[in-house]
Amino acid sequence: LSERIWDYLMQDIETPDLPPDVEMDPAHIEKYAGYYRAATARNQFSFPIERLPFHKVTPKEDHFQVSGIPGNSYKATPVEGGLYRHGKKWMATEIFFEDEERKRYFQRGAFGTLEKVTALSAWGQLLLAAISIVLMLSSLILLPVYGIGRLVGKFKGVDDWCVRLVPPISVIILLLTFAISAFIVTSNQRLFDHFGKMTWLSLSLYLLDWTFVGLAVFGFYRIIQSLRRGDQMHIFAKYFLLAVSLGSMLYVCYTLYWNPLVPLWMY
């Protein structure tokens, strides 16, 4: 439908010729090839997630190849004035620049500003985020394992269920916050009916966010205590719970650093 509307609006307009390409500036190749991550965001609430994907800018013979990781790639072709055009667009839409502190940026038209980072920073943060998410989600297997084991009498000698159940319960709380956010975004109600003022949904989301933080910290504290006391626990379960708690704490620290979790109606 969008394409049909576009064809109708453009039916009497001649498509302009592409502007002449210019040679790649060797100085640009040396300074601006590399890895870039989002430096600006339209919404601070979602910025921690938006900044994890990154772009790799690779010099080719007559253009930069811009590859989203994850995502698609396109050509950034140089035109006059040190500007670049996106793919087959006829007008310049992008520019590389350097500020007074010698930080380098890639301005992608309406898609925001990217800041140049090292390969270690780009790949490292994305991989740590993936590991953290996998660890947290894997903890959900503990609930049916302990539930079934309890029913068949396999865990009669277990006294401290708290250290075993808090990590997966905290992950369930986190998934619930994502479910509420998805419901608000995808429902037919306007976003600002809940995101712009305090409602039962926005208040629940705020309280659940901090509940997850509290449970993640508490779970990490309890597993450290258990390790120090030398509690009787299968060695696999002991270090698996430690890994899950570390993953949750990594998620908490990263989220709170970029997003202080203020109420949604105060954004």
Token pair of 169, please? Answer: 């319960």
At 19-32, the pLDDT tens digits run 677 788 788 888 88
9-22 burial: b if 16+ Cβ within 10 Å, else e = eeeeeeeeeeeeee
CB 121 within 8 A of CB 35: yes
pLDDT in the model for residue 250? 92
At 249-262, the pLDDT tens digits run 999 999 888 888 77
Phi-psi map region of 109: left, alpha, beta (phi>0 left; psi -120 to 50 alpha): left
Amino acid letter for position 10: M
**Taking 90 as the threshold, does the pLDDT of residue 123 lie above it?**
yes
**Taking 80 as the threshold, does the pLDDT of residue 160 lie above it?**
no
Section 124-133 average pLDDT: 92
At 174-233, the pLDDT tens digits run 999 888 888 877 765 566 677 777 888 888 888 898 999 999 999 899 888 888 877 677
